[in-house]
Amino acid sequence: MNRDTIVAAATAMSSAGIGIIRISGEDSFLILDRIFRSKNPEKNILEQPSYTIHYGMIYDEEELLDEVIVLLMKGPHSYTAEDTVEIDCHGGILVMRRILETVLKQGARPAEPGEFTKRAFLNGRIDLSQAEAVMDVIQAKNELALQSSVSQLKGSVSEKIHSFREQILYETAFLESALDDPEHISLDGYAEKLSNIIRKIGSELETLIHTFENGRIVKEGIKTVILGKPNAGKSSLLNALLGEDRAIVTDIAGTTRDILEEQLYLDGVTLNILDTAGIRKTKDMVEQIGVSRAKEQAEAADLILYVVDSSCSLNENDEEILELLKGKKGIVLLNKSDLKAAVTEKMIAEKTDHPVISISAKNGFGLKELEEAIQNLFFQGRISFNDELVITNVRHKVALEEARKSLLMVENSIKLQMPEDFYTIDLMGAYMSLGQIIGEEMGEDLVQEIFSKFCMGK
């Protein structure tokens, strides 16, 4: 393991009230001793206990750089499980850069992206799922994503995976022992017992895998595409949902020609809303491109909001949009409900089984019902997971699926009455797949790739 002492800015290099420089490694305290002068000249920084704060000045040789507070954290009881120093200086690009340069002159090297967290992982303070949760906490876009990330940082995923692996390892060890010593350890009736255990673990894995779609939505947001004919009120709906005029609204058909994307926070979840060009046949080349892009976005959408101008009769363009809704989660919005209706909920219900809501984007009527309908579509009306474990990482999902496949192969071997040696091979396959989630069965290249996506200073 690399024992270099590393340094990085833990806060942004910008004008701010405070800036934090983080140093980690076996020479952290020695480097601090060379550049820090306490306000108490009799205090030796090397003799101070862990978890203490000290006030003084940072010097580059004899040049005073800043008035600071330093925090001492001795390993293994620190974030990286190494000796760690944090220098709290005044915020500002120049002063932070000068302190960083001074630390580097004393023998530290610049930290790589995510290297502090990587060291915490390599030193055994956290496992890989917790390390990934650190970045998820930083990047959380809404309250539920933050709650889920903090739960995983505390070890919710780790505990579940360790539980699975312990059960699998116990049964594998029992099988190995029985095969090595058949005179003293009998396998009579064991196949049925193992089958029950495998089915139980497999069912729990399946449940976790099925949480991924909700987990992805919580983490990334619901990709929501607004579709409709020109002048149906799509841009007005976007503006009404956002509470501000973000999209251009005119009476001219085809005003929106490209994708306009905005984010809306709905009861703890993010909606990534895309306003699209009106769906219609047109000879305008630019508008044709806009319509084509609208259809492409609809194909990849988690949710389609189909806006119908209820004051105008349906036509072939509406039929085309209804085709785009097939097999997708969608809500039909009868807009302009304040005008005389040419299209009713009953007429739409005859063409699709998607929820239908009457709204007026102009005066805000029906928007509350729309929010409730979205909650029902994605979270059965209750956007809350309480203590439920939800998988949000695609890497974890893939590993769970591989483990599930291995356990299914064990079940199949039992049904076919295959020799017990076959059981152990696939049991260990499941064990190793689960180990990838917590980092116990990982190659260095993949570990490096994961931490390279972290921000600097973390």
pLDDT digits (tens, 9 = 90+) for 146-200: 888 888 989 999 999 999 999 999 999 999 998 888 888 888 889 999 999 999 9
Q: How far is CA 294 from the centre of its chain?
A: 26
Residue 312 pLDDT grade (very low, low, confident, very high; cuts 50, 70, 90):
confident
pLDDT digits (tens, 9 = 90+) for 347-377: 888 888 899 999 888 888 888 888 888 888 8
For the cut 60, the answer to whether the pLDDT of residue 381 exceeds it is: no
Radius of gyration, alpha carbons of the chain: 29
pLDDT of residue 259: 61
Residue 218 pLDDT grade (very low, low, confident, very high; cuts 50, 70, 90):
confident
Share above pLDDT 90 across residues of the chain, in percent, rounded to a whole number: 46
Kindly state the helix (H) or strand (E) to which residue 148 belongs, with its residue range: helix 143-153
pLDDT of residue 159: 95
For the cut 80, the answer to whether the pLDDT of residue 139 exceeds it is: yes
pLDDT of residue 3: 79
Q: Is residue 9 within 8 Å of residue 86, measured between CB atoms?
A: no
What average pLDDT score do residues 9-34 get?
94
Amino acid, res. 136? D
pLDDT digits (tens, 9 = 90+) for 235-291: 888 888 887 655 444 444 444 445 678 888 876 678 888 887 777 676 667 667 777
Q: Is residue 335 within 8 Å of residue 308, measured between CB atoms?
A: yes
Mean pLDDT of the chain: 87
For the cut 70, the answer to whether the pLDDT of residue 411 exceeds it is: yes
pLDDT digits (tens, 9 = 90+) for 336-346: 887 888 888 88
Lowest mean pLDDT among 42-56, 387-401, 444-458: 444-458
3-state DSSP of the chain: CCCCCEEEECCCCCCCCCEEEEEECCCHHHHHHHHEEECCCCCCHHHCCCCEEEEEEEEECCEEEEEEEEEEECCCCCCCCCCEEEEEECCCHHHHHHHHHHHHHCCCEECCCCHHHHHHHHCCCCCHHHHHHHHHHHHCCCHHHHHHHHHHHCCHHHHHHHHHHHHHHHHHHHHHHHHHCCCCCCCCCHHHHHHHHHHHHHHHHHHHHHCHHHHHHHHHCEEEEEEECCCCCHHHHHHHHHCCCCCCCCCCCCCCCCCEEEEEEECCEEEEEEECCCCCCCCCHHHHHHHHHHHHHHHHCCEEEEEEECCCCCCHHHHHHHHHHCCCCEEEEEECCCCCCCCCHHHHHCCCCCCEEECECCCCECHHHHHHHHHHHHHCCCCCCCCCCCCCCHHHHHHHHHHHHHHHHHHHHHHCCCCHHHHHHHHHHHHHHHHHHHCCCCCHHHHHHHHHCCCCCC
For the cut 80, the answer to whether the pLDDT of residue 455 exceeds it is: yes
Q: What phi and psi, each to the nearest 5 degrees, are found at residue 261? A: -110, 135
What are the structure tokens assigned to 210, written together? 């099925």
pTM score, two decimals? Answer: 0.79
Q: Which residue has the higher pLDDT, 142 or 130?
A: 130
Residue 380 pLDDT grade (very low, low, confident, very high; cuts 50, 70, 90):
low
Residue 1 pLDDT grade (very low, low, confident, very high; cuts 50, 70, 90):
low
Name the residue with tokens 């600071």. Answer: 68
